[in-house]
Amino acid sequence: MNRRDFLKGLSLSTLSLLVAPKVWANALSTTAGNRRIVVMIELKGGNDGLNTLIPYSHPAYYAARPSLAIERSSVLTLSSQLGMHPSLKPLMPAWNEGELAWVQGVGGTEGNRSHFESIEIWDTAQADLRADNDGWIAQAFPTHPLAGIAIDTNLGPLYGTKVSNLSISDPNNFTANSSGIGTLKSNSSNQSLQHILGVQAQIDMLASTLAEYLKDIPAAQEAFATGNFGRALNSTYRLIASGLNVPAYKITLGNFDTHTNHLSRHKPLLQTLAQGIASLRNNLKRIGMWDEVIVVTYSEFGRRLKENANKGTDHGAASVQLVTGGQVKGGFYGEYPSLTELDDRGDLIHNTDFREIYSIIRNNWWNLGEKQTGKLALI
């Protein structure tokens, strides 16, 4: 039996070698064709939901943002009240085909405006900030051989003290660099040394197996954009296309903290986001794997309704989240927050707790609980 057949037989158990061989028996049996994969995209810095999903029919939007509001004629109309930023045009095919959902008024009860603390709350789904809090995805898969792969330096919701996860920048570089370590041997009885040698051998096994798996995948027919985000999506596509049974991937698109020059900074970020998701969708559709994937955006908070003196936006509260996938029921979910009834800071008041979205993913997508119905049943 070669290494590729070995991996097929054990699902992802080979990857679990990096943590503990004993978890092999707990590998999920789902194979390519029936997988339930989530790609989490962190919009780092606090995305402005108001200029993402635009309330173009509301006069309060234009009154609060005399220099930042998107002109009504430029809005990509989705309904009589809401539309997308024009830079999100690559997402229109997904919307028109009923595969794009917008969750409105998303926030948390904590009201935290610190980048570091707020994203930790979103990653762990817990307000009690502690260093040992596992990410919400790690909590969902405590016995999985590999809870997820971050094409990122930050595991975020994949982080766990007792679960297996992997952070890599590029799968090809990982396999090439790992296989170049060489085989180390020692007859020493030193337990620490033996552990190191064991891990090294396991990394070599993983690198070799992953390299074989990546040989046979169909090349992306639509090129991903250059830059870190495009490369991360390309790596994600390759790993999904390889047939690996990993429940979640996490990547980041940064620079959403637009305190100054909001219009010129926000536009290219949304364009990068939309084009990247569209390329991932198109490539996975071509190989029949789009129905196995949902893509979810999230951000530590939204932006304030009123623009500041620097033609920017300050830290706010409620925002929007995008969810798309072959099995997503497209449309609007939740309610758009009031633009006239604000909190004491001048921020939008959320009406959908972000944990509700996680719950839908856990129960309706991963089938880890009783299937939910109701206002957020988008899967």
Burial class (CB in 10 A: 0-12, 13-18, 19+), 58: middle
**What's residue 340's pLDDT?**
97
pLDDT < 70 regions, the chain: 1-32, 131, 177-189, 193-210, 213
Q: Is 43 within 8 Å of 119 (Cβ atoms)?
A: no
Largest Cα–Cα distance in the chain?
Answer: 76
**What's residue 153's pLDDT?**
87
| AA identity, residue 378 | L
And the tokens for 169? 């920048």
| Helices assigned H by DSSP within 111-227 | 115-124, 136-140, 171-179, 191-215
